[in-house]
Structure 1
Amino acid sequence: MRFSVFLNARTMRPEEDRQLMRDLERHAVKAADQGFSAIFMPDHHFNGYMPVASDSFVFAAYLAAKLPHMHFGFSVVSVPLHHPVRFVERINILDQLTDGKLLVGIGSGTTPEEMIGFGVNYKDAGAVAEKNLELAEALWSKAMEDPAIVIDNGPHQGRVLQRIAPANYTPRHARLMPVAMKEASMRRAADNAWPAFIPAFTPPKIGGTEPFVHVKKYFDAYHDALTAAGHSDEAVTAALDWTTHTYQCVHVAESDDQAREELEVILRAYQDAIEREAEFNARAESDDANKKTDRTPNALTDDWIGTWCLYGSPETVIEHLEPYRDLGIGNILCGTTTGPLTEERLRLADQTLDLLSQKVMPALAKSPVAA
C-alpha cells in the first residue's frame, strides 16, 4: 500500500494566497523526504477556494523540478473546464518533465459556480467531459499529415491542423485515472489498464458511516473488469498499484482522543469555508441548467466524517486501513492540509506527516520507488 499527499488547503483572504503557496511547497518537500509516493493536487476555481488549484498543472511542474523522483497526480481534473488542446498539451509537458510519473484523475466537475465561470452549464458537464475525452484521444494520436481535427463542443471550439507538441513521454499518453463510480468511467479505466479512484459513497447520498461497503462494491467491479480485459499480468499489477482511495481529511495524533479533538477544530474551520462558498454556488444555481442534484453533508456530521475522514492514533489508523490493503487498494490519498491553512493548521498537518511516515507507513506501505 502506497501513501500519497493531497494538497487541498484553502485560504480565506487574498493576502493569504502567497503564503499558502509557499507553505504547500514546503509541505510537499517534507512529504517527499518522508517517503510518500506522490503529490496530488485538486483542480478548482474561484471563491478563494484553493489558490494552487486554479492551475495545478503549473504548480505540479514547479514542484516536479524540485522533486524529480516523485510521482504527481490530480484529484481530479474537471474535464469540461479545459479546452481539449490545452488539456493534452499540459499533460504531455508534465508527462515529459516527470519521465512518465504522472497520474491524471478525470471527472466531470463538482460545482455550478465553477462551470458557469467557464461557460459550461452544470447539466451539460457530463456530456462535455465525454466529448472532450474523445477529442483528447484523437489529438494524442494525430500525426502531422492526418486530416484536421475539428473541435465543436460547447464552449470549446477549434480546428487543429498539425500535431500536439510536445509529444507524449508515456506510450499513447500519460495514465488517466477515472472515478470508478459510473459504469462508463469504470470501464474506461479497466479497458485501458489505468488506475481508478474508488469512492466510499453511492449518489445521491454523498456520505455515510459504512464507507468500506461502497469501496468494496466499486473496487470489485473495477477489479473484475480489469482482470477480464485481457491485459498482461504486469499491466494489471501496475493499474492496481495506483488504484486510489481518497480521504479528504487525514489527521493522526498520539492518541485517539487527541486526534478527535484536533480533527473537530480542523473541520469547524473547513465548514466555515464551505458555507462561505455555498453562498456563491447558490447564485450560480439561479436557473434549471445549473441545479445541483446532490448535497454533501455538513463536515461535522457522522456521515461526512465516516466517509471522508481518517483519524486516530497510529495504531487505530493502521487497523482501519488493513481491510483496504487486503482488498487490494494500492494507494491511500491523504488530505493532510484540509481547510484554511493557518499556522496552527500547518503544524497539525506536519504532525500527521510525521506519524504516518514513522508509524503507519512502515506497517502498510510499499516502496515509493516502484514505477
Structure 2
Amino acid sequence: MRFSVFLNGRTMSADADKQLIVDLEQHALLAGKLGFDAIFLPDHHFNGYMPVASDSYMFASYLAAKLPDMHFGFSVTSVPLHHPVRFVERINILDHLTKGKLLVGIGSGTTPEEMIGFGVNYKDAGRIAEENLQAAEALWAKKVEDEPIELHGFHKGKVLQRIAPGPYGRKHARLMPVAMKESSITRAAVNGWPAFIPAFTPPQIGGTDPISHVKKYFASYHDQLLAAGHSDDTVADALSWTTHSYQAVHLAETDEQAHEEMLRILTSYQEAIDREAAFNAKAESDDANKKTDRTGHALTEEWMATWCLYGSPKTVIGKLRAYQEVGIGNILCGTTTGPVTEERMAYANQTLRLLAEHVFPAFK
C-alpha cells in the first residue's frame, strides 16, 4: 500500500498566504525525507480556499525540482475551468519535469463560486468537462501533418501544428477519474489508469459506513479494468495507485490525544467552511448555479467517519487493514486540513512522522 500527502491547507486572510506557501513547501520536503510516495495538490480558487491550489501545476513543478524521486498528483483538476490546449500543454511539461511520475485527477468541479469566476455555470460543468477531455485526447494524438483541430465547445480555438512538448512517454500522463459515474469508471478502466474510489454515494455526502461504498465502486472499476485486456504490468500499476482519500488524517501517541487534537483541527476547518459557504450562497443565487448536494458539518459522526482517519498508530493500522483487503493501493492523507497555523503545522508534521515510523512498516 502506498501513502501520499494531500496539501489541502487553507488561509483565513491574505496576510497568511505567504507563510502558508513556506509551510506547505517544508511539509512536502519532510514527506519526501520520510518516504511518502506522492504529493497531491488540489485545484481551487478564491476566498483563501487552498491558496497554492490556484495554480497547483506551478507549485507542483517547483516541488518537483526539489523532490526528483517523488510522484505528483492532482486531487482533482476541475476540468471545465481549463482551456484544453493549456490543460494538455501543462500536463506534458510537468510529465517531463517529473520524468513520467504524474497522476492527473480529473473531475467536473464542486463549487459554484469557483465556476462563475471562470464564466462557467455549475449546471454545465459536467458537459464542459466531457467536451474538454475529448478535445484533450484529440490534441494529444495530433501530429504536425494532421488536419487542424478546431474547438467548438465552451472553449474555442484552432490548432494547426501540434502540442509542444509532446508527452514524456509513449502515451500522455495518466489521468485519474473519480470512479463514481459509470462513464468515469469506464474511462479509467479502458485506458488502464488508476481511479479515485469514493466513500459515499450522492446525494448523501458522508455516513458511518464508508467501506461499503468503497467496496461497491472499487468492484465496478476492478471488474472493468480486468476485462479491458491490459497487460499484467498495466493492471498492477493502475491498482497500485487506485486511491482512497481522507480529507483529514491525524495521528498521536494515544487515541485520546488524537481525538482531542482532531476536534481542534475540525473546529477551525468548519469555521473556514462556514465562511466559504456564505460566498457560495451568493454564487447560487440563480438556478444555473444551484448545487444538488450538501456536505454535512465536519464535527458530526457521519462526516468524521467518511472523511477522517485518526488515532494512535495501532488504531490507524487496524482501520486501514479493511481498505488493504478491498484492494486499495494508495491512501491519500489530508495532513494540513483547515487553516494553517503554527499549531496546525506541528500537528501535520507529527502525523507524517508517526505514519512513517509506525504505519508504513505494517503495509510496505
Question: What TM-score range do you get, normalising by the shorter chain?
Answer: over 0.9
- Alpha-carbon distance in structure 1 between the residues aligned to 2:68 and 2:254: 35
Aligned to 1:180: 179
Amino acid at match of 1:361: F
**Secondary structure, aligned partner of 2:106:** strand
**Secondary structure, aligned partner of 1:298:** coil
Aligned to 1:51: 51
Aligned to 2:23: 23
Number of aligned residue pairs = 364
Q: CA deviation at 1:145?
A: 1.3
**Secondary structure, aligned partner of 1:20:** helix
- Alpha-carbon distance in structure 1 between the residues aligned to 2:235 and 2:167: 22
Q: CA deviation at 1:172?
A: 1.9
Q: CA deviation at 1:162?
A: 1.0
Aligned to 2:66: 66
Alignment of 1:299-318 (within 5 A): 299-318=298-317
Measured against aligned partners, the alpha-carbon deviations of 1:3-62 in whole angstroms (never above 9, x if no partner) come to: 000000000010110110010000000000001000000000011111100000000000
Q: Does 1:10 align with 2:41?
A: no
- Alpha-carbon distance in structure 1 between the residues aligned to 2:198 and 2:354: 25
Measured against aligned partners, the alpha-carbon deviations of 1:309-359 in whole angstroms (never above 9, x if no partner) come to: 000000000000001111110000000000000000000000000100000
Alignment of 1:331-342 (within 5 A): 331-342=330-341
Amino acid at match of 1:242: W
**Secondary structure, aligned partner of 1:110:** coil
- Alpha-carbon distance in structure 2 between the residues aligned to 1:107 and 1:354: 31
Q: CA deviation at 1:364?
A: 1.1
Aligned to 2:289: 290
Q: Is the 8 A contact 1:10 1:338 kept in 2?
A: yes
Amino acid at match of 1:64: A
Amino acid at match of 2:248: C
- Alpha-carbon distance in structure 1 between the residues aligned to 2:43 and 2:151: 23
Alignment of 1:228-267 (within 5 A): 228-267=227-266
Aligned to 1:218: 217
Amino acid at match of 1:310: L
Aligned to 1:368: none
Q: Does 1:38 align with 2:38?
A: yes
Alignment of 1:106-125 (within 5 A): 106-125=106-125
Q: CA deviation at 1:223?
A: 0.4
- Alpha-carbon distance in structure 2 between the residues aligned to 1:98 and 1:132: 24
Q: Is the 8 A contact 1:141 1:172 kept in 2?
A: no
Amino acid at match of 1:135: A
Q: CA deviation at 1:243?
A: 0.3
Q: CA deviation at 1:277?
A: 0.3
Q: CA deviation at 1:122?
A: 0.3
Aligned to 1:344: 343
- Alpha-carbon distance in structure 1 between the residues aligned to 2:291 and 2:354: 38
Structure 2 unmatched ranges of 5 or more: none
- Alpha-carbon distance in structure 1 between the residues aligned to 2:163 and 2:221: 31
Aligned to 1:90: 90
Deviating runs (4+, > 4 A) in structure 1? none
Measured against aligned partners, the alpha-carbon deviations of 1:255-288 in whole angstroms (never above 9, x if no partner) come to: 1111000000000000000000001100000110
Alignment of 1:185-224 (within 5 A): 185-224=184-223
Give me the TM-score of the superposition, normalised by structure 1: 0.98
- Alpha-carbon distance in structure 1 between the residues aligned to 2:252 and 2:169: 40
- Alpha-carbon distance in structure 2 between the residues aligned to 1:117 and 1:94: 25
**Secondary structure, aligned partner of 2:294:** coil
Measured against aligned partners, the alpha-carbon deviations of 1:135-189 in whole angstroms (never above 9, x if no partner) come to: 00000000111111111222x1111111101111022200000000000000000
**Secondary structure, aligned partner of 1:311:** strand
- Alpha-carbon distance in structure 1 between the residues aligned to 2:63 and 2:267: 30
The sequence identity of aligned pairs, in percent, is: 71
Measured against aligned partners, the alpha-carbon deviations of 1:203-260 in whole angstroms (never above 9, x if no partner) come to: 0000000000000000011001100111111111010010000000000001111100
Which range is displaced more, 69-78 or 157-166?
Answer: 157-166
- Alpha-carbon distance in structure 2 between the residues aligned to 1:108 and 1:348: 32
Aligned to 1:369: none
- Alpha-carbon distance in structure 2 between the residues aligned to 1:197 and 1:171: 24
Give me the TM-score of the superposition, normalised by structure 2: 0.99
- Alpha-carbon distance in structure 2 between the residues aligned to 1:35 and 1:223: 28
Aligned to 1:165: 164
- Alpha-carbon distance in structure 2 between the residues aligned to 1:280 and 1:327: 39
